[in-house]
A and B are shown apart, each in its own frame.
Chain A
Amino acid sequence: EDQVTQSPEALRLQEGESSSLNCSYTVSGLRGLFWYRQDPGKGPEFLFTLYSAGEEKEKERLKATLTKKESFLHITAPKPEDSATYLCAVQAGGSSNTGKLIFGQGTTLQVKP
């Protein structure tokens, strides 16, 4: 069964304190792994897509990496405006290319000034 698990569930950081969020997955053929940011009461906002092990992508203070079993979202010197819930999702391969996403439960990040 395709599954995505994120850890930790919640993370509190001081401004400037770097850390990483983890996304472990089991999927029958990975088409893509996605990271989204979600603010309270809003829809998810796209951050990154990773397609194969060894791939890395960066955007401002965020860097996403991918292995065959997990992905990390590294946050360098976070600011209070980085506070949000970060969602990880995978899209499975196979003959039925439906585009369905399987989501983890999210990591809620709070950055204190």
Chain B
Amino acid sequence: DGGITQSPKYLFRKEGQNVTLSCEQNLNHDAMYWYRQDPGQGLRLIYYSQIVNDFQKGDIAEGYSVSREKKESFPLTVTSAQKNPTAFYLCASSAYRGRAYGYTFGSGTRLTVV
């Protein structure tokens, strides 16, 4: 079955450490996105990519980095510059369906600073 796989499900980061969250899709979607979700807040866009080897900053890109070397993969690195990284991270991919982009979300990675 086609879908999006995020790993790991839970991740713990020490102070000053970089960590990478994995996102893989087999839906053949061109566009991929990373969102951050905090309690009581909506999803906020970190980075997005519409084609391979190209990506753009979202609303809260500071302290994060991404790469898009393959259509199927869009990993997110949370760097030590991100001062408050504890959150639930969601990856999504989308395809244009004539009037708007339809999204498929992964199951998320919960990152905790220890």
Contacts and interface: CB of A to CB of B under 8 A. Distances in A.
Given A4-B42, A44-B90, A34 B107 contact: no
A103 B59 CA distance: 12
Interface stretch (B62-70, B73-81, B94-102): B94-102
A105 B42 contact: yes
Interface in A11-56: 31-32, 34, 36, 41-46, 49, 51
Contacts, number: 71
Interface string B97-114: 001111111111010000
A51 B101 CA distance: 11
Interface string A42-74: 111110010100000000000000000000000
A31 B90 contact: no
B45 interface: yes
B48 A98 contact: yes
Contacts of B96: 97, 99
Nearest to B6: A43
Contacts of B4: 43
Contact of B45 (A6, A100, A106): A100
A43 B42 contact: no
Most buried by B among A31, A36, A98, A105: A98
B40 interface: yes
Most buried by B among A4, A9, A36, A44: A44
Interface string A87-107: 101010000011111011110
Contacts of B16: none
B99 A9 contact: no
B99 A41 contact: no
Interface of B: 4, 6, 31, 33, 35, 40-45, 48, 50, 56, 58, 88, 90, 92, 94, 96, 99-108, 110
